[in-house]
């Protein structure tokens, strides 16, 4: 029986946590599979995906800087097309490879794992970049209203025009938005390099669920402030885990061993 090969396309990919997470799942389920990293030059992405297809690679994750490029090369499913980025490619069909975006589902599953209700929730997403875009579409599709706040306010308005039931805002409005919100997501890199937060601490409250997409450090200033306010906190590793779980389930058609993947991921953070 041939070994299935999965992998990650990105540049750089040296510090990826995906290989140990996926390989732990293969071991747990007894799958003959390996997960490897590929680092093509930025202008070789077409050749890289065509080559993977020709070699019989079973599935690829896609990260920076290739998520937008990949969209043009594969057949994206509806959500990936609307988000404008592909982070998971499945080669198992007969036609062109299929492109998915599991960042959106990763955020939703991370929240639901912490018993957060999304249907009819009032959500605030900070950041209108790639992660914010994916999460805003995911929340809206799941029935939330979404207020998008961004440093460059025009970007928030542009994104809000595409996302159902969304509004765009500048950061000056954050305090008021969060005071009325059920769910808050930080989709910026604020809190990664320094002990800073995108949201004033006094805006946080106990009826709030806070997801921070930053996973290094695991406990950001935002999540510490949220815990102090009595809010439900969801760290970025949950989102990282569930986008991987979703990719695994798309590729294999099997239920992912979530606990095993979570242990493998967190042991390396």
The Cα–Cα gap between 72 and 88 comes to 13
d(CA 128, CA 234): 20
User: Average pLDDT of 238-243?
Assistant: 97
What is the pLDDT, as a whole number, of residue 2? 81
The stretch 198-218 carries a mean pLDDT of: 96
Identify the pLDDT of residue 15: 84
Query: Nearest-CA neighbor of 143 among 119, 117, 110?
Result: 119
Residue-wise pLDDT tens digits, 100-155: 999 999 999 999 999 999 999 999 999 999 999 999 999 999 999 999 999 999 99
Alpha carbon distance 264, 199 (integer Å): 31
As a whole-number percent, the residues of the chain with pLDDT over 90 amount to 97
The residues that are catalytic are 67
User: Residue 1 pLDDT > 70, yes or no?
Assistant: no
Does residue 79 surpass a pLDDT of 80? yes
Q: Which domains does the chain have, with CATH numbers?
A: 4-100+239-266 (3.40.50.10860), 104-234 (3.40.50.720)
Residue 163 has pLDDT above 80, yes or no: yes
d(CA 65, CA 10): 6
Instruction: Give the alpha-carbon dihedral of 176, 180, 185, 188, to 10 degrees.
Output: -10
Write the CB contacts of 218 (distance below 8 Å, at least 6 apart in sequence). Answer: 235, 236, 237, 269
- What's the confidence (pLDDT) of residue 93? 86
Q: What is the pLDDT of the chain when averaged over all its residues?
A: 96
Average confidence (pLDDT) over 227-247: 98
Residue 10 has pLDDT above 70, yes or no: yes
Q: Has residue 213 got a pLDDT over 70?
A: yes
């Amino acid at each position: 029986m041939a070994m299935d090969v999965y992998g990650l396309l990105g540049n750089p990919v040296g510090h990826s946590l995906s290989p140990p997470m996926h390989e732990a799942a293969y071991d747990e389920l007894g799958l003959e599979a390996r997960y490897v990293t590929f680092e093509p030059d930025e202008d070789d992405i077409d050749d890289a995906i065509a080559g993977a297809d020709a070699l019989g690679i079973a599935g690829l994750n896609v990260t920076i800087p290739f998520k937008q490029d990949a969209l043009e090369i594969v057949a994206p499913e509806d959500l990936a097309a609307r988000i404008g980025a592909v982070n998971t490619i499945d080669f198992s069909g007969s036609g062109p490879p299929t492109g998915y975006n599991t960042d959106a589902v990763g955020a939703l599953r991370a929240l639901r794992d912490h018993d957060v209700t999304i249907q009819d929730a009032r959500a605030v997403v900070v950041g209108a970049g790639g992660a914010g875009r994916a999460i805003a579409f995911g929340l809206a599709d799941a029935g939330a209203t979404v207020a998008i706040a961004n440093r460059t306010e025009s970007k928030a308005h542009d994104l809000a025009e595409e996302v159902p039931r969304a509004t765009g805002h500048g950061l000056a409005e954050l305090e008021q938005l969060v005071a009325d919100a059920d769910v808050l997501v930080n989709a910026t890199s604020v809190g990664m390099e320094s002990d800073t937060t995108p949201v004033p601490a006094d805006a946080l409250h106990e009826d709030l669920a806070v997801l921070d997409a930053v996973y290094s450090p695991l406990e950001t200033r935002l999540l510490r402030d949220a815990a102090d306010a009595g809010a439900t906190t969801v760290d970025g590793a949950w989102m990282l885990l569930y986008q991987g779980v979703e990719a695994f389930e798309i590729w294999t058609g099997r239920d992912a061993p979530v606990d095993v993947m979570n242990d493998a991921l967190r042991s390396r953070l």
